Chains A and B, each alone.
Chain A
C-alpha cells in the first residue's frame, strides 16, 4: 500500500556539521515531495519541497534531492545551527491528489 519510510529516526550532530535525512516512497504516481519542520508544541512548517520534474532544489542551507527511479528523496542541511533542532517529516503525494503520506519523522538535535 501507500507508504513512506524515513531514516534515521533520530540524528545528533555538532553545530556546523551537515545533516542528511532520507525517505523512500511506494507510489510511483507521487509527484510532490514536501519536507516539514515541527518544533515542540508547534504546527508543521514547510521548509522545502520538490516536484517530480526536478532532481534537486536548494534554498540557502537546505537542499532536497529526488531520485524517481529509486523512489527516494533526501533532505540535506548544511552548517547546522541549534535552531535547526526539531522533528523533520518527509511526505509524498498520492497520485495527483491532496493526500499526503508522511514518514515517521526524524528528531534532529544540533549540539552547540
Chain B
C-alpha cells in the first residue's frame, strides 16, 4: 500500500496570508491526525478527523482549522499567518483512530512564514 502523502512539501508565505495543506491517508484508513513540529515545542497535536468529523482538538487558536472529505483525505488551513506558525506540519493516519492503533506519518509540509 502507498504510504501517507502530503502536499505541498514546502511552502513560503508572508504574515497575514492563509495556507491550506493536504494529506492523503493510507488506503482504508479513516482517521487523520495533524501535528505541528517545531524545535522549541516538539510535536504538538492539532486535531483529529474521523468520518469527516473533528473528533479531537489540541490547544491551538481558531486560526487553525481542518476538514476531512468522504474519501478520508484531509486538509488543514491556517489563516492570518504569524511568524510563529513556521513549522513542519505532519499528518498521520490510522485505521479507526482508536487509542491503541498505530499512526503512520506522512513526510510533512514545511511552512516558512516571512
Contacts and interface: CB of A to CB of B under 8 A. Distances in A.
29 contacts: A30-B99, A31-B99, A31-B100, A42-B107, A43-B105, A43-B106, A43-B108, A44-B105, A45-B105, A46-B103, A46-B104, A89-B43, A91-B43, A94-B56, A97-B48, A97-B99, A98-B31, A98-B48, A98-B55, A98-B56, A98-B99, A98-B103, A99-B33, A99-B45, A99-B56, A99-B58, A100-B45, A100-B103, A105-B43
Interface of A: 30-32, 34, 36, 42-46, 49, 51, 89, 91, 93-105
Contacts of A89: 42-43
Interface stretch (B11-19, B68-76, B77-85, B90-98): B90-98
Query: Counting chain B CB atoms within 10 Å of each CB, which of A31, A97, A102 scores highest?
Result: A97
Interface residues of B, number: 27
Interface of B: 31, 33, 35, 42-45, 48, 50, 55-56, 58, 90, 94, 96-108
A32 to B, nearest CB: 4
Contact of B48 (A32, A99, A102): A99
Contacts of B55: 97-98
